[in-house]
Structure 1
Amino acid sequence: MFLWNKKIKLLIYHFSILELSVGNKISDKLASKKLTKNNNINLAKTIEDFDKDPTGMSKSLPLHKGSYPEWDDFTKNIIKEYTDRLIKNYGKLESPPIHIEKVKISMRDTYKNTAYFEENIKDYNSSISQYKQKLIIGDFSKVRTPIDEYVRRLNYSMFLDALNLLKCQYSVGSSISEIKTTYLEALDYMQNGWKKTEKDFDGYYVVDDYWDVLSMLSLGYILNIDQEKLERLIKLRFVVNKPDFLLDTLCNAIQNESVPKGFDIMKYGNKYSSLYDIIHTQNKEEATKLLFKYVKSDWYKKTQANSWHGRHNSHSYDGYWSFESAALVKLLGLDDSTFKDLKYYPYDLLHGV
């Protein structure tokens, strides 16, 4: 997370090299010398030197097999010498080297702090790892459901965790490239974990399922994910083969097709019906005003049926983001400069910040 930890790596690497080399003792000539600042020991003085020569002493300290009791004292002196030089050149280890730019994280969420989201990110990663471990071990002897259904459910759980992880990453200020990586992982889990037939969904997506599909389509379009990968997502959208103007608008955008004209909308997608006028408005200024109003005044109210609504006062909050709004800004070519500090609007996703 922090670039300056490379300095610590620089120090630890030297320690480990010395520790692992105990079996390879120093020559009699060098071992008999006391280590001083004038003995030309070529310890790396900069990060750049470290990259070129990780040991920093390949020329000055030739190692070979042998038995030299002086080794322990000698290596202790090397470690002390190296530590002193690090502190002299860079200051105490708590401070980064002045030539390395520290990563700047700008919080995007206003409800929680950095520590909260970092803890959530840690928990989601741990949860995904545990699910993966179950699949790797492959011990299904105690599983009561059919194995293929059990595997599907594990993947579905990883998908939900990955999507929530993505929200946390965006909320805390993670880079867009990191968010894109998480998205691609979520897409893989979704493909393996999504229900297989319309009947499995009782004919319609429930509120949260609809939001999941909408968010994944929106994010894929915003992040410029390869169309080949997004074709997999479009197939998942049509597991429930009901027309829906918003989902189909995004599918068509991904496939470079025209915006559908129908107003068909799924049973649990009707809270997004106000977006229809925005999509079909010919006047961009009017569309911008309507979308601004939607994000500022309508979006949060319309999502009250979602399971994540109202969680900002709890420990299960990941962020409130209207991904579909950013997708429509991109699709319609709207000017979102006035949206930059608008609550719920993921401005940085579109602008690569």
Structure 2
Amino acid sequence: MESRRPMRDKLKNPDYWTFYLSDRADFLHEIAEDLKGAGNTYDEQVADRSFMETFGFNLASAAYSSGLEISKCCSYARSLLVEYYPIYVRACGLAPRRAFDEESGGWDFRTRYLALAVLCKLTPEEAKPLIDALDFWPERDALWEVFIAHLGRGDGRDPVDTLVWPEAYEDALAACAPEATDFDRQVALMQFDKGWLKEMRSSTNPFYSNHNNTNNTYVGYWNFEAAAIVAMFGIDDTPLANSKTYPKDWADWVRR
């Protein structure tokens, strides 16, 4: 049994988190074994790699929910960021036009992945596979570019002033504005966090509205994006301390 602090997310009991982490880790191992026998066609490559990406994020989030040390949460997240997601995108590259038409590419999670990269303190070299994978897709986003610049991969990139998901991230982008004062950033982040879960639930991803379900699919409701912005700009996050969706101790860990 891994050592852990008290649960950060009490919407589920300790037995749930213990089972979830073990079960999903085993599932990822099974997928990895299946991939060893996969053929080289697009269909044979993409499906399992998409599962690896999805469950890679879920494990990182569930690890945090369960109370594991931040370093262990980062270990799960790093596997997603530098291995699972880039491998999935490389498979999509076997048929780019088909991938653009049929795969979402994690459009509603790309901001989350970049936030996790900041929270895991990826070096520019470590972040390169993730940034390259994100750049495979045609969409560009102003908030993504803020995270990418912080990760040391911003040189030579074209400026972007629009958001792929403005309803979710307009306030987050405002918190990153170069001319914003510390107070401006606090206010924008509070507004962002206030509406964050509602916007996540408006997406097609089921994981934001299912903590009452009997299925083992709940991984926690965590606004990693807000924590990453706090860490990047050194914002006083006292007004967010009582938010049920703000992962404060992860932001604290980055700043330490």
Mark yes or no: TM-score above 0.5.
yes
Alignment CA distance shift 1:282-1:261 (3 Å): farther
Q: CA deviation at 1:276?
A: 2.7
Q: Give the aligned partner of residue 122 of structure 1.
A: 22
Q: Distance in 1 between matches of 2:68 and 2:10?
A: 15
Answer whether contact 1:215 1:323 (CA < 8 A) is retained: yes
5 Å-filtered alignment, 1:30-69, equals: none
Q: CA deviation at 1:225?
A: 1.6
Q: Distance in 1 between matches of 2:79 and 2:6?
A: 24
2:66 partner letter: V
Answer whether contact 1:198 1:239 (CA < 8 A) is retained: no
Answer whether contact 1:249 1:260 (CA < 8 A) is retained: no
Structure 2: give runs of 5+ residues left out of the alignment. none
2:106 partner letter: D
The TM-score, its normalising length taken from structure 2, stands at 0.84
SS at match of 1:352: helix
1:174 partner letter: L
The TM-score, its normalising length taken from structure 1, stands at 0.62
Alignment CA distance shift 1:232-1:311 (3 Å): same
5 Å-filtered alignment, 1:159-174, equals: 159-174=53-68
Structure 1: give runs of 5+ residues left out of the alignment. 3-102
Alignment CA distance shift 1:331-1:198 (3 Å): farther
Give yes or no for the alignment of 1:291 onto 2:202. Answer: no
Q: Give the aligned partner of residue 79 of structure 1.
A: none
In percent, how many aligned pairs have the same letter? 21
Q: Distance in 2 between matches of 1:339 and 1:269?
A: 21
1:319-352 CA-to-partner distances (Å, cap 9, x unmatched) read 0111111111122220113323321111121222
SS at match of 1:210: coil
Radius of gyration: which is bigger?
1
Q: Distance in 2 between matches of 1:199 and 1:228?
A: 30
Q: 2:136 aligns with which of 232, 235, 239?
A: 239
5 Å-filtered alignment, 1:4-83, equals: none
Alignment CA distance shift 1:199-1:148 (3 Å): closer
Q: 2:180 aligns with which of 282, 290, 304?
A: 282
Q: CA deviation at 1:166?
A: 0.9
SS at match of 2:220: coil
When the two structures are aligned, how many residues end up with a matched partner?
A: 243
Q: Give the aligned partner of residue 253 of structure 2.
A: 352
Q: CA deviation at 1:261?
A: 6.9
Alignment CA distance shift 1:199-1:134 (3 Å): closer
Q: Distance in 1 between matches of 2:108 and 2:139?
A: 15
Give yes or no for the alignment of 1:111 onto 2:14. Answer: no
Q: Give the aligned partner of residue 152 of structure 1.
A: 46
1:68-96 CA-to-partner distances (Å, cap 9, x unmatched) read xxxxxxxxxxxxxxxxxxxxxxxxxxxxx
5 Å-filtered alignment, 1:210-289, equals: 210-255=107-152, 257=154, 262-266=160-164, 268=165, 270-280=167-177, 281-289=179-187
Q: CA deviation at 1:275?
A: 2.2
SS at match of 2:208: coil
Answer whether contact 1:162 1:186 (CA < 8 A) is retained: yes
Ranked by relative contact order (alpha carbons within 8 Å, sequence separation 6 or more), the top structure is 2
Q: Give the aligned partner of residue 337 of structure 1.
A: 238
SS at match of 1:255: coil
Alignment CA distance shift 1:190-1:153 (3 Å): same
